Amino acid sequence: MRRALCAVALLALACLLLRAARVGLAGDYIDNISKITAQDEALYAHSAIAMARGGDWLTPRFMGRYALYKPPLLVWTAAVSSRLLGVSRLSLRLPIAIFSALALGLIFLWAGELGGWQAGAVAGALLLSNHLWHTLAALCMTDGLLVAFYIAAFYALFCDPWLESRAALFGFSGAVAAAILTKGIAGTLPLAVLGLYWLAARRQERPAFLRVCLAAALALAFAAPWFVYQFAVHPRWFWTEHIAVEILGFGAGTPPQTSQENQAVFYLMRLAVTDPLLLAAAVVAIPAFLSDLRRRTAGPVLLGAWMAVMLAAALGWQYRNAAYLLPLVPALALLAAGWGPFRTPRCAPWLWVVLAAAFLIKTSAPELPWGLDYRAGTVQPTAPILSAYCEQARGNEIIVLNLADDLYASALPLAHLRYATVAPLAAPAGPYTMPFAEMGITVTVDQFNDMARYTPAFRARLREWGLDSGTPIASLITARTAADLAALVRGHPDSDFLIPTTYRSAVESAPQERIDAAAGYLLLLSRTPLERTSPPAWSCRM
């Protein structure tokens, strides 16, 4: 079985690395129905690059400020990979792809235990050909890594439902700790699965209550040091960003939504559209699964607890995100493989035909919601513009308007990057934002045009927050009107700008050279180019 695990994991890794190497950073849709891009990937990539090159391995940063909205395990793995292999989109994504491929191998073994090698092959093929898994397991984002640790924790419990062996106990607890260090509160969900399993399973097939408590205590103890460190060293920033904004604001609150459907319709639609084959195969397996579940044997109870907790979490979490479906995908693959009619020797040959045809059809239609996309490219229209600009090795700062690049520029080796927005009113700090205006991380055009006056006060406020650095000051410039934007451009003739063409009239009198960079965007280049002291430190083609 070890050889089979290695073979399956290597096949999955090859598929993921092919995709990881060809898709640009932040260059795909997380939700291709609502067209929600992978903006967070550029954010995590920036933090990993900064960590790999600048140190401070305990505290991630973004554009000079602390970035404590998520625990750092994803950034750590990407930073280590970049430190060893050099900075590239493939090195940033490599650890996630490796963990995801190994997790797929565990799903193969798990299904093989349930119904033989045919069932294992079915589960592996269904997971490998799933659009959501195929996308998130090849991006530098928390979702693929989180689900890999979920699978490892559940597989340890499946192999030893009593958690009697040291391998099972520490394997489960270590995987849960890694999940917590990947995505905070969401990482504790395997503990809820363990609790539900303990309540539902037969007495002879469940761990002792003290063993459950020990597993939970070990998981929390393994994960605790980083949280304790941040509370001790950066208490105000950590409490505000990680607890008040991320957990209490986004977790317990009702943040703005990207879609108007209710929770159930939102997730059912995306599951059905992104993989109708997996959904159909799982539905067919439900009668046999329910029959086994009534006997309360370990296998179906554990899988039922897994699906119930993940579904409840997705529906209970106020913010809707297609990525929240990912933890259900391997569970549905196990359901289809372990209890569907496809594992029988009579159906196996037909199954291979169906799965092979489905994979070919999915790869031949990459533009569809259920397609598998191996094409080179990106959904970011500004990425080629910014990469070409980066390759000019200009020493001028560049200001990107309205985050048109989904933070792609933040992962490039640019001399100096800022962002700007045009909004009628400045958004007040609330439960979903940090008070960046108070710290000077967000400034108005008037403030930016007179930075020498405001910088000392902003430095003092940042020190009050535990950050003794002026680097993050004026990372984001807010303009209230097009006239404000024009004043910004005129006031900084030595700066370059990337601006949507909708603001063409506002920059007609700009002192910079105006270039139609691509459909919909203008590149304003200073007529006084500054030379960089060194060439770009890594690839401009991220």
Written as one string, the DSSP assignment of 411-426 is: GS--SEEEEEEE-SSP
> What is the pLDDT at residue 31?
85
- pLDDT of residue 431 exceeding 70: no
- pLDDT of residue 113 exceeding 70: yes
User: Where does the pLDDT of residue 439 fall: very low under 50, low under 70, confident under 90, or very high at 90 and above?
Assistant: very high
- pLDDT averaged over the chain? 90
Question: Residue range 436-442: average pLDDT?
Answer: 93
> What is the pLDDT at residue 237?
94
- pLDDT of residue 260 exceeding 80: no
Question: Residue range 336-349: average pLDDT?
Answer: 75
User: Where does the pLDDT of residue 117 fall: very low under 50, low under 70, confident under 90, or very high at 90 and above?
Assistant: confident
Question: Residue range 465-473: average pLDDT?
Answer: 93
> What is the pLDDT at residue 500?
93
pLDDT in tens, 287-298: 999 999 999 888
Question: Residue range 279-285: average pLDDT?
Answer: 92
Q: Both tokens of residue 24?
A: 């640009």
First-last CA distance in the chain: 38
- pLDDT of residue 261 exceeding 80: no
> What is the pLDDT at residue 370?
87
> What is the pLDDT at residue 432?
61
Beta bridge partners, 123, equal none
443: DSSP letter: E
User: Where does the pLDDT of residue 428 fall: very low under 50, low under 70, confident under 90, or very high at 90 and above?
Assistant: low
User: Where does the pLDDT of residue 449 fall: very low under 50, low under 70, confident under 90, or very high at 90 and above?
Assistant: very high
User: Where does the pLDDT of residue 1 fall: very low under 50, low under 70, confident under 90, or very high at 90 and above?
Assistant: low
**Contact by Cβ (8 Å): 351, 497:** no
Between 252 and 57, name the one with better pLDDT.
Answer: 57
User: Where does the pLDDT of residue 187 fall: very low under 50, low under 70, confident under 90, or very high at 90 and above?
Assistant: very high
The residues near 502 (Cβ < 8 Å, ≥ 6 apart) are none
Percent of the chain with pLDDT over 90: 67
> What is the pLDDT at residue 347?
66
**Contact by Cβ (8 Å): 57, 76:** yes
Question: Residue range 450-467: average pLDDT?
Answer: 94
* Full DSSP string of 449-475: TTHHHHHHHHHHHHHHTT---STTTTS
Question: Residue range 32-44: average pLDDT?
Answer: 89
pLDDT in tens, 148-171: 999 999 999 999 999 999 999 999
- pLDDT of residue 91 exceeding 90: yes
Question: Residue range 264-281: average pLDDT?
Answer: 89
> What is the pLDDT at residue 534?
82
The listed range with the strongest mean pLDDT (218-222, 316-320, 381-385, 501-505) is 218-222
The residues near 217 (Cβ < 8 Å, ≥ 6 apart) are none
pTM over 0.75: yes
Q: Which of 447, 449, 445 is nearest to 461 (CA)?
A: 447
- pLDDT of residue 265 exceeding 90: no
**Chain length of the chain:** 542
Q: Which of 470, 482, 455, 458 is nearest to 401 (CA)?
A: 482
Four-point Cα dihedral 9, 11, 16, 21, nearest 10: 120
37: DSSP letter: E
pLDDT in tens, 390-422: 999 999 999 999 888 899 999 999 999 999 999
> What is the pLDDT at residue 369?
87
pLDDT in tens, 484-540: 999 999 999 999 999 999 999 888 888 989 988 877 899 999 999 998 878 888 999
pLDDT in tens, 215-258: 999 999 999 999 999 999 999 999 999 998 888 876 665 666 66
User: Where does the pLDDT of residue 353 fall: very low under 50, low under 70, confident under 90, or very high at 90 and above?
Assistant: confident
> What is the pLDDT at residue 278?
92
Q: Which of 215, 216, 4, 177 is nearest to 107 (CA)?
A: 4
User: Where does the pLDDT of residue 429 fall: very low under 50, low under 70, confident under 90, or very high at 90 and above?
Assistant: low
Distances (CA, A) of 389 to 46, 88, 497, 528: 18, 18, 11, 15
> What is the pLDDT at residue 36?
85
- pLDDT of residue 424 exceeding 80: no
Rounded Cα distance, 478 and 422, in Å: 6
The residues near 156 (Cβ < 8 Å, ≥ 6 apart) are 163, 167, 168, 171, 172, 175
